[in-house]
Chain A
Amino acid sequence: MVIVFQSKPSLLAGGVVAGPLENRSIFSQYFDSVYDDERWQMKTNEQGHRKMIEEACEFAMKKMGVQKGDINYLMGGDLVNQMTPTNFAARDLEIPFIGLFSACATSVSSVIIACLLTELGAANFSLAGASSQHNAIERQFRYPINYGAQKPQTAQWTVTAAGYALIGKHREEYPSIEAATIGKSVDYGMDDPFHMGAAMAPAAFQTIQSHLQQRNQKIYHYDLILTGDLGQLGLKLLKGMLVENGVKNEELTLLRDAGAEFYGQDEAFQSGASGAGCSAAVFFSYVIQQMRAGSYKRVLLVATGALLSPLSYQQGETIPCTAHAIEITMK
């Protein structure tokens, strides 16, 4: 069921902070800060992760000249144990907070909740976003950082980045959120944690299809449909599914993936970027800035998330995935 926001809450600003390797991202020029210490001069990866979230929120607030006290709600999440970094960042930010876990789709699920609160009149300003820190997440989901396992070509590189958006009541001069689709949890039987794109592509496909159908739109009604972190292979698979469904080839150029483009063509990153911070960083920097500059008038952001855990993988389960979408327009 598509959610249509009558009041069209606006994406007033985005704050994106990234780690040292993200200097190589083709989007790095759009980030607010690229730090050269992956731990933000803190003792542990998790503390650095927390610092990164706080800084991203502060950048977003500073751009609109608002203070912590003006923010009604903070919505966000990450991938580390029970979302430790986000919970602790919320402690320091002192903003009423709900932690959200949709894996790498949290960047959009948090915006959807923030928009609902805005539409309800409960919030003047909310912060919504997601983040990931490479080291903290690799050790949680895969191996210790210094372990020499060979990653296949299908693997993706978890980015170190936090992206938070400041959501407020509708303002004409800012990109506004018209509609949203909350995705189902979709499982097509993929079970390889080093091939997340293949697991997530069906979720992205279902969410896009359902959004377009219920909004009575076609792909060409958009200037851009940007998925979160399918990677190069996942994007290929998504396009393959769309073609099977009768989408024409020329429409496929409107489809892009933040993870596939994030590190350019650098083969060291295999199939591209992933992580909750990947879509958040690109959506809340590049996309907002391009829309404000007038490059895009109508954009569909589809954040994709693989809902696996180390436990589910070890117990031999397949990987359920989800995708949440927001439709953003600019006058």
Chain B
Amino acid sequence: MVMTFVFAFIVGGIICVIGQLLMDVGNLTPGHTLSTLVVVGAILDGMGLYEPLINFAGAGATVPITSFGNSLTHGALAEAEKHGLVGVLTGMFEVTSSGISAAIVFGFIGALIFRPKGNID
């Protein structure tokens, strides 16, 4: 029980460190960094490696943006297994919709209730 938190903390932290290195050493913008990590997540799932990571680290693997690439691929693969080639397209958002739909809905709500403020602290 406690260990699940520790593993989530460590694995999540390490993925963020990779992101930080891409920014600081690789000189990438946040947009480039996140795009890179998403692609990495998709490839890892294609090789069947991301699912074991989730089993090991829980939220440490599902919360970082890499999991977005993973779940897109996962949906596509599951559907491709059932329906063949067309499943690659139709299955894409089957698993992953929650992050995007939450972002869209909360983005809309946020726009209604908040205003940007140029404060510094």
Contact = CB atoms under 8 A, between A and B. Distances in A.
A8 interface: no
B118 A145 contact: yes
A178 B78 CA distance: 77
| Residue of B116, B119, B121 with most chain A CB atoms under a 10 A cut-off | B116
B117 A38 contact: yes
B30 interface: yes
Contact of A21 (B30, B114, B119): B119
Nearest to A135: B118
Interface residues of A, number: 17
A150 B120 contact: no
Interface residues of B, number: 9
A38 B119 CA distance: 9
A146 B120 contact: no
B118 A134 contact: yes
A112 B80 CA distance: 69
B119 A146 contact: no
**Which secondary structure dominates where chain B touches chain A?**
loop
Given A149-B30, A268-B121, A135 B116 contact: yes
Nearest to B120: A268
B108 to A, nearest CB: 15
B116 A21 contact: no
A240 interface: no
Given A150-B23, A268-B121, A144 B30 contact: no
Contacts of B120: 21, 157, 268-269
A146 B111 CA distance: 12
Contact of A145 (B23, B116, B121): B116
Interface string B2-36: 00000000000000000000010000001000000
Interface string A50-82: 000000000000000000000000000000000
Interface in B76-121: 114, 116-121
A49 to B, nearest CB: 12
B116 A144 contact: yes
A146 B23 CA distance: 19
B118 A160 contact: yes
A94 interface: no
Contacts of A134: 118
Interface of B: 23, 30, 114, 116-121
